[in-house]
Structure 1
Amino acid sequence: MNIQSAINREVFVPRDERMLVAVEVKRRKRKRVPFLPTGGKGDYVTYICLSVTNKRPAQLLITKIKRFGGSTPFTRRSQWTVEQLRQVNGINPNKDCPEFDLVFDNALDQWVASSAPEKCIFIQIMYHACQTYWDGKEGVHGGLGRPAGDQQKGEMVPEGQGSPGSPTGRPGLQARRKSIVGPKPPKPRKPEFVNCHSKLTGDASNVNLILNRCKVFFNRMKKAMVLKRSRPQTVAGPSGQRPYGGSMGSVVQKASQALHERGERLGRAEEKTVDLMHKAQQFADTAHKLALKYSH
């Protein structure tokens, strides 16, 4: 199970929510609180998640999740609604970079994602989720009732409640409604996406999303291979060397031989993985060229 599935299962499913995307981040400028002790690096990992509620009407939420000390449980730290989100800043519209900012009504968070493709996936999914959410919300509010002029047109005034100029001298129904209904609350604004590459918000975004997912997969495979190479490998001794200590030495020799054979198999698997990586990269480049060709 990958990390996103674990976060969704432990944090959002019990709250009747569904996670859309999560990105691992670090602060570009660490916040310092003078009266709290600051821990060392690597004490916790932070994730910014985008989720939607299963109840109707659906609510789009941005949640900050932390995982302390590499332990299994995740901790939900802060949560904002999409109405509180004012701006998403991609920092550089001409280059894929891991930095981005989230501006809320009462907070400004400056983040660095673990990689540029993961940041692109997060912003891309957030952009389209916000567009779908606001379009659906405007459609719901647009169908809630009739305009004020249509509501007053053709309505009958009950007996004894005439207009201000009527013989009864009592205020009419329309005047009463105007005195009861206060001013309308300000309409919430859509969040702005600034300094974001056009491929994240353009028509060919689906193809670019696939390309970014491929890049994330390749980066993870590359990190795994680098980590495997950095580990010390046990080299089997000469075949003619006599083991120490009788049976104990034979057990050690067999284990060393087994590790050597396993290392050879891992080497062949690594070569196949690199070959598949090159083929997938060629496929991604071809898909990108096709997307550019048919987008014009």
Structure 2
Amino acid sequence: MSAKSAIGKEVFAPRDEKMLAAAQVKRRTKKRIPFLATGGVGDYSTFICLSVTKKKPQQLYITKVKQFEGSSSFAKRSQWMVEQLQQVNGIDPKGDCPEFDLVFDGGSDQWQASSSTEKSMFIQILHHYCQRHCTGRKPDFINCPSKLVGGTRAVQSAVDDVTGMVQKASQALSERGDRLTRTEEKTEEMMNSAQQLADTAQKLAKKYKN
């Protein structure tokens, strides 16, 4: 089971929530540690997750989840209602970098996703569900590629892009299969011809021997 599937099952399912998206992240700027704090908690992995309640009226949440080194379980650390989210800053309008910022009413977090693709998927899903579920204030999405935050057309365009790639791959595999089939048929024909020639040569050899 992947980490994200485990988070959905372990963290959100018991709370009657459905996880919609998750991105593994790390901070670009470290938070200050209080002077009195002693000792460390060890290394850990951090995930930013988007979830929705199953009960109506449905509510969107953004949750920070951690998994500490040596542990197979996940722990919920912080959670915000999406209404508390003021701004999503994608940093790069071209979508080539994994960095993004989440600005809430009480502060902001600067993150770097494990890849630009994972960041883009998270932002696209977050924008889609904000448009769908937020009846009041919606967060501003800035410095994000238009194909990720352009509404239904952008989502459909992304789907069409993926569909097109799948169709091209299927066509290539089909053509390759056809070529392999024709090669096998030609090989079989050559083998049959060779066998016929061998049989004929054997018969002629017996005839002249007698």
Shared fold per TM-score greater than 0.5: yes
Name the CA distance, whole Å, in 1 between partners of 2:79 and 2:107. 11
Gaps of 5+ in 2: 170-210
1:88 aligned partner: 88
**What is the aligned partner in structure 1 of residue 25 from structure 2?**
25
- Give the C-alpha shift of residue 35 in structure 1: 2.6
Map Cα deviations across residues 115-148 of structure 1 (whole Å, 9 max, x no partner): 00000000000000000012xx3xxxxxxxxxxx
Cα deviation for residue 60 of structure 1 reads 0.4
Could you say what the CA RMSD is over the residues aligned between the two structures, in angstroms? 2.5
**Whose strand fraction is larger, Structure 1's or Structure 2's?**
2
Question: What are the superposed Cα offsets for residues 126-173 of structure 1, whole Å, 9 maximum, x if unpaired?
Answer: 000000012xx3xxxxxxxxxxxxxxxxxxxxxxxxxxxxxxxxxxxx
1:79-137 Cα distance to aligned partner (Å, 9 max, x none): 00011010000001124210000000002000000000000000000000000012xx3
TM-score by length of 1: 0.52
2:65 equivalent in structure 1: 65
- Amino acid paired to 2:64: K
CA contact (8 A) 2:20 2:49 kept: yes
Q: Post-superposition shift, 1:29?
A: 0.2
Structure 1: distance between partners of 2:15 and 2:75: 13
Secondary structure of 2:52 counterpart: strand
The answer to whether residue 10 in structure 2 is matched with residue 10 in structure 1 is: yes
SS in 2 for 1:35: coil
CA separation in 1, counterparts of 2:23 and 2:38?
A: 27
Which of 158, 183, 193 is the aligned partner of 1:208? 158
Partner of 1:115: 115
Identity %: 57
2:141 is equivalent to residue 193 of structure 1 = yes
The change in CA–CA distance for 1:16 and 1:205 in structure 2 (over 3 A counts) is same
- Asked if structure 1 preserves the Cα contact closer than 8 Å seen for 2:97 and 2:116, the reply is yes
Aligned length: 165
Give the SS at the match of 1:57.
coil
d(CA) in 2 for partners of 1:112 and 1:210? 28
Instruction: Tell me: CA distance 1:71–1:133, structure 2 relative to 1, closer, same or farther (3 Å).
Output: same
Q: 1:103 to 1:38 in 2, by over 3 A?
A: farther
Distance in structure 2 (CA, Å) of the matches to 1:80 and 1:10 = 19
Q: Structure 2 vs 1, CA of residues 14 and 190 (structure 1 numbering), >3 Å: closer, same or farther?
A: same
Secondary structure (helix, strand or coil) at the match of 2:109 reads strand
What residue is the counterpart of 1:35 in the other structure? 36
AA partner of residue 111 (structure 2): W
Deviation of the 1:211 alpha carbon:
6.3
Q: Deviations over 1:5-51 (max 9, x none)?
A: 110100000000000000000000011213324648x7100000000
Quick one: structure 1 residues 9 and 122, their matched pair in 2 at CA, closer, same or farther if it must change by over 3 Å?
same
